[in-house]
Chains A and B, each alone.
Chain A
């Protein structure tokens, strides 16, 4: 068990509160349950949808109201950050994932293939999500996704 200095925990709590407040439109310490994913992810976590649902179960009220209270969210999220749950996905792991979908190992995936995988497999994308990713990832001339280039570009954007 780690003993964290009070300062570190306080600082983490402040970060969480800040992120929460950005989505707290009515300034009453609640956010729409649909925004929890954005909040958790913007704090540096990479949960899957399944993991997110698990987390939601811990922070929702007994009778779900559609809103999440800061009171319940804060301790749960603090633990998530202290435990470093939902670790980031490193660049090389992401690359391997794309490569796994690239059957012929030719360095690109066709639009049709990518759409099929991402909207039918895993935790499927909605049409909106798919279109949005394609808008940056797709090379319109060849109608393919050159994933190495795409990843490099996205990683730069991250910093």
Chain B
């Protein structure tokens, strides 16, 4: 047909124009789409930054909490006998369980398992069938009976005690070693790893690099599974301690709560046992003497020989306050750890050194000075006793570690407790940084930031090829840094939110070349488009950010006012960005985030009061509570919860009204919060509490929506 012929000039011109148009149209669409993708990428990174900065700021709070305790120790003197008893309860631990006592307290043998119980029944020694039964049971959402949990924990502890601080793995026994990073209670991820990679077996070695618990809702199940495999395949399964294998951290980040909720009757025993098991976890693993696996990182003072030799179980909790006066440092261990300095079993028969002096009862006179004196005396005594222990055992000359011949397990006394503690803290809490050098990790409040030069030195000193660590969430589940000499492996997928990141594990063969497997264990994540995934995670991040902004309302108002000298009620968006950063100190790109946080402007200016009111409307739950009070609670809610849980020593979920008032007073004195007695009374009156003066503080926290939704 003629009309299609290219010889026809009109048609040719038409088709040329058409193809030109098509070209132009294509360019336009591509141009527009690429811009869209770039914006998404920016949003994704900003969201990541938000989550990380908030998460690390939280960890800093944990350290502040400890500073709070040490501050109280140093400065607070009680004004009444009630307060005095209260403090002494908190600080002079009546619960220093020596191992023998622990076994008695956490005894399980008398516990009956009813016939109606349909879950797995464990018998020891464990067999592979027990493991598969457990996995199946957990998949069906069943719960293991407390008796078996405790039994398992006892056996695990027995096993761990024999292990050295640094485990050794060789690739010539099992061809491949699989290393997994943080799991944080996400059992689905562990299921996936086992599904994809196979269960532990004589031909399949595993190293789990710490942070098994907290945040996710199945931390206990993960522990049970890991400990079970540990006992069945002791040569093939290796566990490293992470910074979350620490009861102080567990009080805050959800594990303690999870256990108490799942085991209402025996939860305390289980927690106590776990607390002890954690401190017996090895600190590091070495593969073929060439690859060092630790949870956090290293520092410029990391000394593997020291790490090898210290008594790792002394450090029940690694957290401690920063500004410690020299004399109190040893007491801190006892107070926070609730454990005597030397473990009983090491020198049972020989001497009385195994028994720590029990503190004398607190003076009954309501005299502030007397009380402080008593407190310090008791503290002094404990230190003296420790010193005696040290002096009697160490060599008289300058103790170098090589010159100490160990006759007892006390050969580590040539190092100060401070030095030993730092070694462990650095291993569990440090992060790598791109710059050279070694700095204190102020963001987390513990450990160091270590640079590539520090890595190089350690690798050279101990003739290693590279380090594997975890501790930091990575978008792809793993990440290299320091010129591929440090590998971060993170196994909890969707850690911040569904779609936020993949998890990964790494396999090493005799050639020690890493092979990665990535995954995202959530069906939902797969069906979402990239846009939807980013939106969801973003929503979550911004919700958290708005909460934080609300919690700092008063400070923000002052900051805004400083930019509004003429008192117009408005500030420029530039001033807004500067003010917000100066208050929150999160280091976020506020100008990038502004469109999501500030919805309406008038002539490019922000009416800051109404903006803050809008924020408050989202957060406020009870109208008759003053907003400033609410603000205070919000800012401190995690801390409050932790403190409450510590005070509630018997984990009953109840504290008396009086205890509550005292706690609040102590807390507010330290945190410089102004709160009148009336204010506290108002607060309490707004809660229903039973007539015997007890407060179920879970209800209290819930009433103000203080219990985090996700926990």
Contacts and interface: CB of A to CB of B under 8 A. Distances in A.
Of all A-B residue pairs in the complex, the 7 with the closest CB atoms, nearest first, are A122-B26, A41-B38, A42-B42, A122-B27, A121-B26, A100-B25, A26-B434
14 contacts: A10-B574, A18-B590, A18-B591, A25-B434, A38-B41, A47-B31, A49-B30, A49-B31, A89-B32, A96-B25, A97-B32, A117-B22, A123-B26, A129-B37
A46 B32 contact: yes
B27 A154 contact: no
Given A38-B42, A41-B39, A122-B27, A136 B531 contact: yes
Interface in B551-610: 574, 577, 589-592, 595
Contact of A41 (B23, B27, B35, B531): B35
Contacts, number: 124
Contacts of A117: 22, 25-26
Contacts of A124: 30
A74 interface: no
Contact of B31 (A21, A28, A48, A100): A48
A122 B529 contact: no
A19 interface: yes
A148 interface: no
A133 B33 contact: yes
Nearest to B532: A136
Contacts of A129: 33-34, 37
Given A19-B592, A132-B530, A89 B36 contact: no
B42 A19 contact: yes
B324 to A, nearest CB: 32
B393 to A, nearest CB: 47
Interface of B: 21-39, 41-42, 45-46, 49, 434-435, 529-531, 535, 574, 577, 589-592, 595
A93 B28 contact: yes
A22 B46 contact: yes
B35 A46 contact: yes
Interface centre among B35, B529, B574 (most CB of A within 10 A): B35
B26 A118 contact: yes
A42 B38 CA distance: 6
Contacts of B41: 38, 42
A97 B22 CA distance: 8
Contacts of A98: 25, 29
Contacts of B30: 48-49, 118, 122-125
Nearest to A51: B31
A133 B35 CA distance: 12
A25 to B, nearest CB: 7
B25 A42 contact: no
B589 A18 contact: yes
Contacts of A159: 595
Interface in A90-123: 93-94, 96-98, 100-101, 117-118, 121-123
A101 B22 contact: yes
Contacts of A67: none
A27 B39 contact: no
A38 B37 CA distance: 8
A71 interface: no
A11 B574 CA distance: 7
A135 to B, nearest CB: 5
Interface string A1-24: 000000100110011001101110
A7 B563 CA distance: 14
Contacts of B434: 25-28
Given A18-B589, A100-B25, A101-B26, A135 B530 contact: yes
